[in-house]
Structure 1
Amino acid sequence: MATEKEMNELLLENVDKDKVRTRKMIGEYIIYYENVVIGGLYDDRLLVKTTKTALEELHRNPLVSPYPNAKEMILIADFTQHENLTDLFKTIKEELKK
């Protein structure tokens, strides 16, 4: 199942579009924060990379695989209810760059 265009548009409405962009790839959307891949929209689900801070902040969120044999990522089930996705994405990017 591919991610719907409307899901991508909803995500972009909830973030700072000057810092966050998406790119459609094989029916899904890869999410970039300042040109660093921090997650994606897979099967209409927001998944972010696992970093120390993301795991601490989202400790109640399940880890799921975006596709068979892929590394698990953190599921953010209702991202419209998350306080500040842009800050979360920035934190993930900074930790990935270390």
Structure 2
Amino acid sequence: MASQQGTVDYVIEQLQRAGRVSARKMFGEYAIYCDGKTVALICDDQLYVKPTAAGRAFLGEPQDGFPYPGAKPHFLIAGDRWDDAEWLSTLVELTAAELPLPKPKPARKPKK
């Protein structure tokens, strides 16, 4: 089941305090970016935040979840926590601060 655009819009709205936040549709689901880093996924209308030491310390005892079959575990954020924009933004800020910037993609070779 694909995530609804309304879910993504709401999460993005809640994260405005975290920095430059955006979403990109990928395979019917969504990746959430903060300052150019992939920090979370929205799959089946559930929010999964990439695991980091800072995120784990902030959450205490996070619930792990798998956004899709074969995925590495992520922190599953309960829907009732989404309403606390300050809390959610802090989690995403901490996560983004610990993640590296994505590696630049090599330039494509022109077709012959």
Matched to 1:93, the amino acid is A
Q: CA deviation at 1:84?
A: 2.8
Which sections of structure 2, spanning at least 5 residues, go unmatched?
A: 102-112
SS of the residue 1:84 aligns to:
helix
Unaligned runs of 5+ in 1: none
Q: Which residue of 2 aligns with 1:95?
A: 98
- What is the match of residue 87 of structure 2? 84
The corresponding residue for 2:104 is none
Counterparts of 1:36 and 1:13 in 2: how far apart (Å)? 17
The CA RMSD over aligned residues, in Å, is 1.9
Q: Distance in 2 between matches of 1:47 and 1:35?
A: 17
Corresponding residue for residue 47 of structure 1: 48
TM, length-normalised to structure 2 = 0.78
What is the TM-score normalised by the length of structure 1? 0.88
Which structure has the greater CA radius of gyration? 2
- Counterpart residue type for residue 8 of structure 1: V
Structure 2 residue identity aligned to 1:95: E
Distance in 1, matches of 2:61 and 2:5, equals 28
Mean alpha-carbon deviation: is it higher for 51-60 or for 1-10? 51-60
The number of equivalent residue pairs is 98
**1:5 is matched with which residue?**
5
The 3-state SS of whatever aligns with 1:80 is coil
Question: What are the superposed Cα offsets for residues 40-84 of structure 1, whole Å, 9 maximum, x if unpaired?
Answer: 111100100000011122233310111111100001112123643
Percent of aligned pairs sharing the same letter: 33
SS in structure 1 of the partner of residue 16 of structure 2: coil
Q: Deviations over 1:9-55 (max 9, x none)?
A: 11122121751100011111100000100111111001000000111
- Assess if the C-alpha contact under 8 Å between 2:20 and 2:34 holds in 1: yes
Runs of 4+ in 1 over 4 A off after TM superposition: none
SS at structure 2 position matched to 1:66: coil
